[in-house]
């Protein structure tokens, strides 16, 4: 599928998808005879993973490292050695801990925001009396 359809499916802009290509986070699976980028379902899934990392403030470097780990763990030819697989799982655990900590921070921010919105609602209600 072409980049426009991928943008529709992922909710990412064309510019963002091209940027991710430039920094190596996603590589179009092929190019058409006219030179258009062509993406597969696997490419779309990869972009959705990247999209889910954005709210957690993963840097491009962190995204790249995490995708590298996931790709290496999923590799079948050549499959990682048991020792390498364990090192990869450790890196994956580290990313998971970072994601968990950032989710907790977002939950705290949401609670503070909801508290503030409730305060405004109470003030508005009391000003009508």
Radius of gyration in angstroms for the set of CA atoms belonging to the chain, rounded to a whole number:
21
Question: Sign of the C-alpha dihedral, residues 95, 101, 105, 108?
Answer: positive
Q: What is the pLDDT of residues 21-67, one digit of tens each?
A: 999 999 988 888 888 889 999 999 999 999 999 999 999 999 999 99
Cis (ω within 30 of 0) for the bond into 78? yes
Q: H helices of the chain, where?
A: 3-10, 14-22, 41-53, 60-74, 82-127
In percent, the amount of the chain with pLDDT more than 70 equals 100
Q: How far apart are CA 73 and CA 69, in angstroms?
A: 6
pLDDT at position 77 is 83
> What average pLDDT is seen over the chain?
95
């Amino acid at each position: 599928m072409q980049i426009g359809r991928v943008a529709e499916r992922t909710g990412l802009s064309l510019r963002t998808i091209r940027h991710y290509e430039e920094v190596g986070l996603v590589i179009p699976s092929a190019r058409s005879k006219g030179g258009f980028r062509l993406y597969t379902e696997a490419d779309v899934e990869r972009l959705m993973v990247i999209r889910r990392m954005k709210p957690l403030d993963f840097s491009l470097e962190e995204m790249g490292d995490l995708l590298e780990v996931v790709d290496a763990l999923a590799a079948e030819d050549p499959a990682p050695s048991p020792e390498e697989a364990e090192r990869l799982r450790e890196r994956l655990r580290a990313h998971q801990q970072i994601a968990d900590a950032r989710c907790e921070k977002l939950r705290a921010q949401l609670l503070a925001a909801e508290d503030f919105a409730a305060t405004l609602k109470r003030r508005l209600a009391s000003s009508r009396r």
